[in-house]
């Protein structure tokens, strides 16, 4: 069961997803900012990290669990918040919630999720974290914070790397909009991808489910640029639970956020969807870890494509790792079975990499001793 559907790597899942999804949806998920140099550089930086295998260390019993905010997570990776997941497959949000519940890992629920935040908290067995975007003058944002509190969320993820939505030419070319609009161009695209289109017809076209238009209308393109440090302080005062700040690449920002009361920072380039010239997030992680010291919780996402990449993020300083696009591709490729296949293959790859490196726990990965450096260049 593990390797059916022709998925043996996340690249296989992406390839199948590309066949099945309308071009508009594939490019919304896969696209990156600007000329996509940042995405290419980020992939190269990840590849350039080399790990040193070790021998004779008895690595027969390997444990993939980690402690996250003093709770056990059964896998060293969770689900990064993503808007409109149900575009990848009908019921995708709920598939993610279920797998998060099974493995006791965080399920990032986006402000613009396609299933409402209350339903997802229940479906994830309480493992969901609510992701917040500041928008407009911030008043609607504060309503969402209250709603997440009432629903029973214990962790809020504040995403700060979208002061304005990045220009992603591939997405723009297809006229991608939320809420969904179907013009002649999209009609042809959907007609050429009947499997996806029929499923969307039966299941209803995906919506931004946290907004019913009564309380607060969310406009995805509205500016989020007015957020400043006083807004952060206000949020810290009203949110009693854990506060994670996502989208930080600068060590000084990380230090100031720690001082201002953030409980953790998620180092991320938003999957290179915001600033084409951003540094590879995996290298920023190393710099931020050096700045904040060993004890402050740092999470990581952006560009994870394999179990080896997950291990690399721990070696570079992460305390937990989040997955993005590859999960959407897994579900687009083969629904819940695709998701399970990708989830299991990543777990297996992490475990095999640990065996190669001579470690039996994720905590043992958190040292740059595992990095290979070319002695000729020393």
Ligand X SMILES: Cc1cc2nc3c(=O)[nH]c(=O)nc-3n(C[C@H](O)[C@H](O)[C@H](O)COP(=O)(O)O)c2cc1C
Which sequence positions are flagged as catalytic?
A: 270
Contact between 248 and ligand X (CB under 6 A)? no
Residue 359, CB-side half-sphere exposure with 13 Å CA sphere = 21
Residue 116, CB-side half-sphere exposure with 13 Å CA sphere = 10
Q: What is the residue whose two structure tokens read 């490196």?
A: 357
Q: In whole angstroms, how far apart are CA 138 and each of 41, 228, 230, 244, 322?
A: 34, 11, 12, 18, 27
In the complex, what is the shortest distance from the CB of residue 55 to ligand X, in angstroms, rounded to a whole number? Answer: 32
Evaluate whether 327 touches 96 at the Cβ level (below 8 Å). Answer: yes
What is residue 370's DSSP assignment? Answer: G
Cα separation, 333 vs 345, whole angstroms: 15
In the complex, what is the shortest distance from the CB of residue 151 to ligand X, in angstroms, rounded to a whole number? Answer: 18
Nearer to ligand X, 306 or 364 (CB): 306
Q: Which listed residue (174, 193, 224, 246) binds ligand X by CB under 6 A?
A: 246
Nearer to ligand X, 270 or 370 (CB): 270
Residues 84-123 that bind ligand X (CB under 6 A): 110-112
Q: Which listed residue (174, 207, 270, 370) binds ligand X by CB under 6 A?
A: 270
Evaluate whether 63 touches 362 at the Cβ level (below 8 Å). Answer: yes
Residues 172-211 that bind ligand X (CB under 6 A): none
Residue 7, CB-side half-sphere exposure with 13 Å CA sphere = 31
Q: What is the residue whose two structure tokens read 């309480």?
A: 126
Is cis: bond before 294, omega within 30 of 0? no
Nearer to ligand X, 273 or 364 (CB): 273
Q: Which listed residue (90, 271, 297, 317) binds ligand X by CB under 6 A?
A: 271
Query: Which pair of tokens denotes residue 350?
Result: 């992490």
Q: Which listed residue (91, 166, 324, 335) binds ligand X by CB under 6 A?
A: 324
Nearer to ligand X, 162 or 359 (CB): 162
What is residue 274's DSSP assignment? Answer: S
In the complex, what is the shortest distance from the CB of residue 64 to ligand X, in angstroms, rounded to a whole number? Answer: 19
Q: Which listed residue (268, 306, 340, 353) binds ligand X by CB under 6 A?
A: 268
What is residue 279's DSSP assignment? Answer: P
Cα separation, 113 vs 108, whole angstroms: 9
Residue 257, CB-side half-sphere exposure with 13 Å CA sphere = 30
Nearer to ligand X, 107 or 289 (CB): 107
Phi, psi for residue 260 in degrees, rounded to 5: -80, 0
What residues contact residue 230 under an 8 Å CB cut-off, 6+ apart? none
In the complex, what is the shortest distance from the CB of residue 378 to ligand X, in angstroms, rounded to a whole number? Answer: 32
Contact between 279 and ligand X (CB under 6 A)? no
In the complex, what is the shortest distance from the CB of residue 323 to ligand X, in angstroms, rounded to a whole number? Answer: 6
Nearer to ligand X, 268 or 347 (CB): 268
In the complex, what is the shortest distance from the CB of residue 276 to ligand X, in angstroms, rounded to a whole number? Answer: 14
Interface with ligand X (CB under 6 A), residue total 22
Contact between 10 and ligand X (CB under 6 A)? no
Contact between 29 and ligand X (CB under 6 A)? yes
Contact between 155 and ligand X (CB under 6 A)? no
Q: Which listed residue (114, 131, 135, 340) binds ligand X by CB under 6 A?
A: 131
Contact between 276 and ligand X (CB under 6 A)? no
Cα separation, 112 vs 123, whole angstroms: 17
E strand segments, 89-241: 107-109, 128-133, 155-159
Torsion, Cα of 280, 132, 214, 219 (10° steps) = -20
In the complex, what is the shortest distance from the CB of residue 52 to ligand X, in angstroms, rounded to a whole number? Answer: 25
Cα separation, 200 vs 86, whole angstroms: 9
Q: Which listed residue (45, 51, 63, 83) binds ligand X by CB under 6 A?
A: 83
User: For ligand X, what does the binding mask look like between residues 291 and 310, x meaning CB under 6 A?
Assistant: ----------xxxx------
Which of these ranges, 65-73, 76-84, 252-260, 310-318, lies near ligand X under the rule CB under 6 A? 76-84
Nearer to ligand X, 30 or 364 (CB): 30
* Residues found near ligand X in the complex (CB under 6 A): 28-29, 80-83, 110-112, 131, 159, 246, 268, 270-271, 301-304, 323-325
């Amino acid at each position: 069961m593990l390797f059916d559907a022709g998925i043996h790597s996340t690249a296989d899942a992406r390839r199948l997803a590309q066949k099945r999804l309308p071009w508009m949806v594939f490019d919304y998920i896969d696209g990156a900012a600007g000329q996509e140099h940042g995405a290419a550089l980020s992939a190269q930086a990840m590849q350039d990290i080399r790990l040193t295998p070790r021998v004779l260390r008895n690595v027969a019993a390997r444990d993939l669990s980690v402690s996250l905010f003093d709770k056990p997570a059964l896998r060293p990776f969770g689900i990064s918040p993503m808007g409109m997941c149900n575009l990848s497959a009908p019921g995708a949000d709920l598939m993610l919630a279920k797998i998060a519940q099974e493995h006791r890992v965080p399920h990032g629920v986006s402000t613009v999720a396609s299933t409402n935040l209350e339903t997802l908290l229940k479906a994830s067995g309480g493992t969901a974290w609510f992701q917040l975007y500041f928008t407009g003058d911030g008043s609607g944002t504060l309503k969402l914070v209250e709603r997440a509190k009432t629903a029973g969320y214990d962790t809020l993820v504040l995403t700060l790397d979208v002061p304005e939505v990045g220009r992603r030419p591939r997405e723009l070319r297809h006229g991608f909009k939320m809420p969904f609009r179907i013009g002649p161009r999209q009609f042809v695209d959907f007609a050429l991808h009947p499997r996806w289109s029929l499923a969307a017809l039966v299941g209803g076209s995906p919506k931004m489910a946290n907004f019913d238009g009564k309380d607060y209308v969310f406009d995805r393109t509205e500016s989020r640029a007015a957020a400043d440090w006083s807004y952060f302080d206000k949020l810290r005062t009203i949110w009693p639970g854990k506060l994670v700040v996502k989208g930080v690449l600068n060590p000084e920002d990380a230090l100031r956020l720690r001082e201002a009361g953030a409980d953790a920072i998620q180092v991320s380039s938003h999957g290179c969807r915001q600033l084409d010239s951003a540094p590879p997030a995996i290298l920023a992680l190393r710099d931020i870890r050096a700045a904040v010291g060993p004890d402050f919780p740092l999470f990581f996402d952006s560009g994870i494509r394999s179990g080896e990449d997950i291990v690399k993020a721990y070696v570079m300083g992460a305390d937990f790792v989040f997955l993005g696009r590859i999960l959407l591709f897994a579900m687009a490729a083969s629904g819940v079975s695709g998701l399970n296949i990708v989830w299991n293959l990543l777990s297996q790859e992490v475990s095999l990499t640990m065996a190669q490196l001579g470690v039996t726990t994720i905590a043992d990965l958190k040292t740059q001793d595992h990095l290979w450096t070319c002695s000729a260049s020393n």
